[in-house]
Structure 1
Amino acid sequence: MKKAQLTKGEFGEFYSGYIDRLDDEAELIASLENNTSEMVEFLKSIPSEKWNFRYKPEKWSIKEMVQHIIDTERIFQYRALCFARNEQNPLPGFDHDLYVLNSGGDNRSASELIEEFKIVRQSGIFLYKSFTDLMLKIIGNMNDVNTSARAIGFIMIGHAKHHKDIISNRYL
């Protein structure tokens, strides 16, 4: 399934900023796999002295940002699973700032965070490989926004790219 196959009703406007980071011909599973490799290599290239850096005192450190990516991957994967299984109840949003504040991300090693990202994303890839075309098209409600399971996969990729760009432009 390619990004170009998504329709307007499959995701909210807020998520366009993530989905628009991918080419129309981007294929879901291949893009998840490629993005995983790109993110792992990028994270491994960050100098050790930069992992605790904040470009402003109130901003997240790189460790906290990677922990945020991991947490968000887990939440999006759960949402995709719920929708693929035809969950009818709306799923709540989450306060990403509160999650980061309570994550303990700064107390973790860079290598541990990189490995966890890789494992969580690999788990998501297996999840997406298990979905049929019909399951991928099922739309559910997350945080008051109708979204399909397949759109969530592209959102996950765009979300990681978004934070990679922030790290590159503001932290390195």
Structure 2
Amino acid sequence: MPERPLIGEYDIYYEKYIGLVSEGNVIERLKEQILVSVNLLDTLTETQANHKYAPDKWSIKQVFGHLADTERIMSYRLLRIARGDATPLAGYDDEAYVKSASFATHSIQQLQADYLAVRHATISLCNGMEESAWLREGIANSSRVTARALAYIIAGHEIHHLNIIQERYLK
């Protein structure tokens, strides 16, 4: 399984996510996160899930929609880079994605099913990779990144947002 990526394998912006991932097998961390996120969603009412802690912030539904969208993009990058595709990959505007998605109209169950589908696809991709693929690098959003860094970014990004939910939504 891939070791923690080294500085230089990713844009320094992502250090805040990679640093949140505990030691050990990143694929196991991705699997463990499923239980945490599903349990969180199972405890929420629709009203709680639509709550915003400030007018210009996302609701919990929007956060989970954002997690799924971002994981799709990062997993796609991981696939392309792990398979040796050297084509530079574009960035994306997460605010525009959330604004266009109307996650508030989705039920908690729909968001949960979408999250699970994306996460299971990411885990399946990672489980099928050979060791050498984890070290392949490419360009995404104008920055160099390795496949293993992307797996850690996916895991850390979720931890980051779950921490925000705990600190600002569920006090």
Deviations 1:22-41 (A, max 9, x none): 22x22121111111222211
CA RMSD between the two structures: 1.2
- In the TM superposition, 1:59-138 aligns within 5 A as 59-138=57-136
Q: Secondary structure at the match of 1:10?
A: coil
| Separation in 2, partners of 1:121, 1:140 | 22
Instruction: In structure 2, give the amino acid aligned to 1:159.
Output: H
1:41 is matched with which residue? Answer: 39
Deviations 1:53-83 (A, max 9, x none): 1111111111111100010010011000000
| Separation in 2, partners of 1:67, 1:3 | 29
| Separation in 2, partners of 1:104, 1:135 | 36
| Separation in 1, partners of 2:106, 2:46 | 12
Would you say the 8 A contact 2:72–2:118 is kept in 1? yes
Q: CA deviation at 1:44?
A: 1.6
1:8 is matched with which residue? Answer: 7
Q: CA deviation at 1:2?
A: 5.0
How many residue pairs align between the two structures?
A: 170
Would you say the 8 A contact 1:2–1:26 is kept in 2? no
Q: Secondary structure at the match of 2:8?
A: helix
Q: CA deviation at 1:123?
A: 0.7
Q: Secondary structure at the match of 2:90?
A: coil
TM-score by length of 2: 0.94
Instruction: In structure 1, give the amino acid aligned to 2:85.
Output: E
Deviations 1:97-144 (A, max 9, x none): 000000110110011101110111001100011111111110111111
Would you say the 8 A contact 1:3–1:22 is kept in 2? no
Q: Secondary structure at the match of 1:165?
A: helix
Which 4+ residue blocks in structure 1 deviate beyond 6 angstroms? none
Instruction: In structure 2, give the amino acid aligned to 1:19.
Output: I
Instruction: In structure 2, give the amino acid aligned to 1:90.
Output: P
| Separation in 2, partners of 1:134, 1:91 | 21
Would you say the 8 A contact 1:10–1:151 is kept in 2? yes
